[in-house]
A and B are shown apart, each in its own frame.
Chain A
Amino acid sequence: MCNQSVGLIQAAFENEGIVTVSISLYRFVTEKVRPPRALCVPFPLGYPLGAPNDPALQRRVILAALDLLTTDEPPPIIRDFQP
């Protein structure tokens, strides 16, 4: 349910004029919820930014997510993280 909840909260932030991006652990849920921008990651539930105490991996995921904020592509955008 976390992936649905994230998308619904994301919509509320976007509606306040905040440009939002979320991490998705379940692409099929995100495709149904259709938030503005989502980065699908190849990690298990509970590990949205990859691995604990792995700052380099966490950073790569974050930067890939932030890329979706500045793209010219109109939302909704669902992109896959390329490790």
Chain B
Amino acid sequence: MAELSDASLLVRSFMRAYRYTTSSWRPARLTKPLAACNVGLVTTAAFHLPTQPAFDLKLAGDPSFRVIPTEVELATLKVGHVSPSFDHAGIERDPNLALPISRFQELAAEGAVGRLNGRAWSFCGSIAKPGELIRRTAPEAARQARTDEVDVALLTPV
């Protein structure tokens, strides 16, 4: 577990004073075995393709997302995060650390899950003012996943 005491004084002060938003949801129910499920991946690691625009790193955050085809060559992914709060070296060396495309291709080949969805969703997680994320962009990505008939989703922060 990351420890708040490891963060810089500025970050610690911000995180202690910040008023976190409680999420609002209705529980979904799994109606089939995982071995038959289409899996969607979502990360806030700010990965993007070289051909996609970078994230806007303004202070309040960029609530937009990039669609990542899961057949992408992982080594070509760019990391758009510039947050000094975490070590970027791991996800730059191995994007599977936050966007485990290879792992789910293996799990699908073994039959542990049905398949990996053809697209994944990448956000830049440094969003201090999440209103636009809640109202517009997260529901938009979720509707895309629903259109793709995604059954289950794994989400990773950095």
Contact = CB atoms under 8 A, between A and B. Distances in A.
B100 A22 contact: no
| Residue in A5, A27, A50 with the greatest tally of chain B CB atoms within 10 Å | A5
Contacts of B114: none
B142 A15 contact: yes
B2 A26 contact: yes
A24 to B, nearest CB: 7
A17 to B, nearest CB: 5
Interface in B13-33: 15, 20-30
A12 B146 contact: no
B50 interface: no
A52 B142 contact: no
B94 interface: yes
Contacts of B2: 25-26, 43-45
Interface residues on B, range: 35 or more
Nearest to B65: A9
A12 B142 contact: yes
B125 A1 contact: yes
Interface in B29-82: 29-30, 34, 40, 42, 44, 61
19 contacts: A1-B125, A5-B125, A5-B130, A6-B157, A9-B142, A16-B28, A16-B142, A20-B154, A26-B4, A33-B22, A33-B23, A45-B86, A46-B90, A50-B97, A55-B106, A62-B154, A65-B154, A66-B112, A66-B152
Given A8-B138, A20-B152, A51-B90, 15 more contacts: A2-B86, A6-B157, A13-B138, A13-B150, A15-B139, A15-B142, A33-B22, A33-B23, A43-B1, A46-B90, A46-B97, A48-B98, A59-B106, A62-B103, A62-B107
